[in-house]
Structure 1
């Protein structure tokens, strides 16, 4: 008698391609190579500052800032901080710090004064570059707090503030403006030996940047990212996106986030593309103006940015003809939005990237030639030289198609959280084979073809009467409604079930009539079980709800704040 065939599902363990080989380089070697290769070609354009820099000028200005940092007292291994909008000086400081081995701290430009001070204390920042205004927002209160903290001795490491533009009045600590800071056009002779020593001392494994996590659920941690991890990630993102030296990339995401800095600036630098930064702070009209004026071929952004750009486009008579490629990070998007982007903006080659700050950042990404359902329902396949797996609560790798926590390994992993061994050990763990894995906290499923679908944050799972409910699938259904442009689903307290589903919605501008609560509930209930149907429907902008979605500086919805708002509304 024949033995029965036993079918074993393959495990949710995927390995990225091993070609092309990893680079083992520092920022300086990449900058030198691209300056020689592309020379006077525009590397970056800042329309709002009426400024552009060629690849050669980027290198020259980076070297100038490096020399100025040395002259001010910075050394290899010191922390140099920036809090500013997207401006050309930001890139000069990032390059200058990297050239001499400084750790460049990119600070969230939405930080409140005490958050800025806390970040500077934790990183022992030596020199801070600060814009007194970002968009219409003033940072004078931040400056006042830093001055008083310095005079009280609570910021002993901070030796100087460098202001972009005119220095504010009544600053009591050492300061100067950026033009003064960079006024010496060469390295002093007595610093020349130190300059050469520090340059030669920079290794690919050295920390290039301190990146603060977005902090959607708690206090941010300081991730340490190396030259090797950031440069290779930018390179692979550009390859999968298909950008070349003929592309002009429009990059609205902020430079303090990996999206703007790695996936935007560094990817453009490595692939010889021109990168346009439309404004210091996101402005949909400025994005459209930049696309028209500079004939951009590629547009980057999170979903909320693309939605705002589509809405701004409705009031214009212009037609976009230059755009072809787009890159969305932060979440998957609906078929409806994908079709609108293709039809209205010419973005026929949309791709989606997934990652986290701690992985430098992208670990999965779709490609333009993926099937349409794979391009907007998944975050694509694993990136080169990256390994990923989906595990259960026991740490066991699950079969394909089964949900669990996504873990990532490879070159992109952070070096750890600065001065926080406990938190590092919580998320970075060696398996029995000695492989170090980053536990992402994201609940995902990997299908038979290796595509990854993010089903939500594990900590955001709603437990209704013992049933696990995943917000992402409900959000996908909600934003498929023509009246909804954005949706966020959270659990709110309930006496009977412990938690029930609540949704926060933003209405699409083109819709005159807003659906009732019953209509939205019916929309969800038509395709999902009753337990997943929102018991509460809140519209952003309504009195007592919130004027807009609370977001991080990188555009992610802060669900812990939405839960608080929902619980308050339910009690009312």
Structure 2
């Protein structure tokens, strides 16, 4: 088996080299990428491919951080107390770092007050709302593990993930679009309606005892406003004591895979994982060099929203701007124009939708300079339009270039001598701080 440990910069270099040696749109794209000095680390393409040996070590010049999520937020709030941290355009919510960290502490103390403790799992199920990010950081403050739940899940899928990770609490709005969350949960947990808040005893969901709704007061559930008021000075002291015990190596978030090759797996992420991922993303986008406002139409339950957006906000102090509860191309353009966003994250289909808006040319999006495009391969003609029509010269393609290749290999015995071999057929193994720590409740 060949081991390939590769850095992001090597991937980009290889991509540029491939583009520059092909004709037509790919060659034009390579020329456009290298036309002017960029905030990104890579501005020249190698003549020959970088990967020759089967073991590659990435850049080691940037020291890894050994901080917890709560430490990052506290440090950033101390540096920029009056700077905007979060803007939710559709709901009219604006929070400075000082306001946000105060509410995070209040929410964390409230979670402890209603019976949650360090190591418990809390599922966040819903669209892009302020309370999603509030729970993301409140759970991290209290040592509770946040479980990112797809807002489109139906009863069977919801039951699977709650049972898989043993969620003790579940947080959701009453309804979003056609999703009636309370009614969906009742299909799996009929005991909810006759339970007291915090006292659910479910036959099919034995670990679930606490349900929190963001808006309406419903039978068997706490309302978010009640949680925010539940903590007192004793719970705040308990919170500080818990924070003293937190390690950056402990799990902080479980994100489920899509289930393409089987049942969804709970990828378990540590504080160290997402803090360093967010730090490197921010450095890659140059947010440490200039104040940047990031437009985030991507869902928070996905890592690009919660880590590439909300965590970059906490680590680097880059305000996160959420245009709407779910993706709407027109709303994104409006948010970029009104909030003067300099960065924009999205998938290729999102960018295609934005570029196709009938009134695209009427929006002043000249403040844009870059962002992240991820999720699927990007057609060269779309990339050219993004860089020229949207002024996003510093866009990062977060799409590993080997993912679309066929898998070729053979069974063989490892060589008797531990020598590094040239690149050959076999498995690709990636090892770094930004990949998952483990799959929850699966053997290694």
TM range (shorter): 0.7 to 0.9
Does residue 175 (structure 1) correspond to residue 215 (structure 2)? The answer is no
Does residue 155 (structure 1) correspond to residue 205 (structure 2)? The answer is yes
User: SS state of the match for residue 49, structure 1?
Assistant: coil
Deviations 1:10-37, CA, capped at 9 Å, x for gaps: 3143211112211111111111100100
Structure 1 residues 329, 393: CA separation in 2 closer, same or farther (over 3 Å shift)?
A: farther
Residues of 2 paired with 1:315 and 1:19: CA distance?
Answer: 41
Structure 1 residues 415, 317: CA separation in 2 closer, same or farther (over 3 Å shift)?
A: closer
Q: Kindly report which structure 2 residues correspond to 1:173-572, keeping only aligned pairs within 5 A, or say none.
A: 174-184=220-230, 186-189=231-234, 191-244=235-288, 246-312=291-357, 317-354=362-399, 392-394=409-411, 399-400=422-423, 405-421=427-443, 425=444
Q: Where does residue 85 of structure 1 map in the other structure?
A: 127
The root-mean-square deviation of aligned C-alpha atoms, in Å, is: 2.4
Aligned 8 A contact 1:135 1:281 in 2: no
Deviations 1:366-407, CA, capped at 9 Å, x for gaps: xxxxxxxxxxx789xxxxxxxxxx99444877745x675431
Aligned 8 A contact 1:34 1:272 in 2: yes
Q: Where does residue 216 of structure 2 map in the other structure?
A: 166
Structure 1 residues 346, 235: CA separation in 2 closer, same or farther (over 3 Å shift)?
A: same
Residues of 2 paired with 1:140 and 1:66: CA distance?
Answer: 23
Larger Rg: 1
User: SS state of the match for residue 397, structure 2?
Assistant: strand
In the alignment of these two chains, the number of paired residues is: 376
TM-score calculated relative to the size of structure 1: 0.62
Residues of 2 paired with 1:295 and 1:178: CA distance?
Answer: 31
1:149 deviation in Å? 5.6
User: SS state of the match for residue 48, structure 1?
Assistant: coil
User: SS state of the match for residue 182, structure 1?
Assistant: helix
Residues of 2 paired with 1:263 and 1:403: CA distance?
Answer: 33
Deviations 1:23-69, CA, capped at 9 Å, x for gaps: 11111111110010011100111001100111122211111111001
Aligned 8 A contact 1:149 1:155 in 2: no
Deviations 1:436-460, CA, capped at 9 Å, x for gaps: xxxxxxxxxxxxxxxxxxxxxxxxx
User: SS state of the match for residue 90, structure 2?
Assistant: helix
Q: Where does residue 565 of structure 1 map in the other structure?
A: none
1:305 deviation in Å? 0.9
Aligned 8 A contact 1:113 1:141 in 2: no
Structure 1 residues 266, 181: CA separation in 2 closer, same or farther (over 3 Å shift)?
A: same
Residues of 1 paired with 2:122 and 2:375: CA distance?
Answer: 28
1:315 deviation in Å? 5.7
User: SS state of the match for residue 357, structure 2?
Assistant: helix
Larger strand percent? 1
1:412 deviation in Å? 2.7
User: SS state of the match for residue 15, structure 1?
Assistant: coil
Does residue 132 (structure 1) correspond to residue 174 (structure 2)? The answer is yes
Residues of 2 paired with 1:181 and 1:153: CA distance?
Answer: 25
User: SS state of the match for residue 239, structure 2?
Assistant: helix
Deviations 1:97-141, CA, capped at 9 Å, x for gaps: 111111111101111111112211222211111112234533243
User: SS state of the match for residue 242, structure 2?
Assistant: helix
User: SS state of the match for residue 294, structure 2?
Assistant: strand
1:77 deviation in Å? 0.6
Aligned 8 A contact 2:152 2:179 in 1: no
Aligned 8 A contact 1:332 1:378 in 2: no
Structure 1 residues 98, 343: CA separation in 2 closer, same or farther (over 3 Å shift)?
A: same
Aligned 8 A contact 1:323 1:347 in 2: yes
Residues of 1 paired with 2:68 and 2:277: CA distance?
Answer: 13
TM-score calculated relative to the size of structure 2: 0.79
Q: Where does residue 44 of structure 2 map in the other structure?
A: none
Aligned 8 A contact 2:155 2:187 in 1: yes
| Bigger relative contact order, structure 1 or 2 (CA pairs below 8 A, ≥6 apart) | 2
1:410 deviation in Å? 2.3
Does residue 48 (structure 1) correspond to residue 93 (structure 2)? The answer is no
> Which blocks of at least 5 consecutive residues in structure 1 are unaligned?
1-8, 355-363, 365-376, 380-389, 426-572
Q: Where does residue 153 of structure 2 map in the other structure?
A: 111
Structure 1 residues 393, 410: CA separation in 2 closer, same or farther (over 3 Å shift)?
A: farther
Aligned 8 A contact 2:155 2:184 in 1: yes
Deviations 1:496-540, CA, capped at 9 Å, x for gaps: xxxxxxxxxxxxxxxxxxxxxxxxxxxxxxxxxxxxxxxxxxxxx
User: SS state of the match for residue 171, structure 2?
Assistant: strand
Q: Which moved more, 1:142-151 or 1:332-341?
A: 142-151
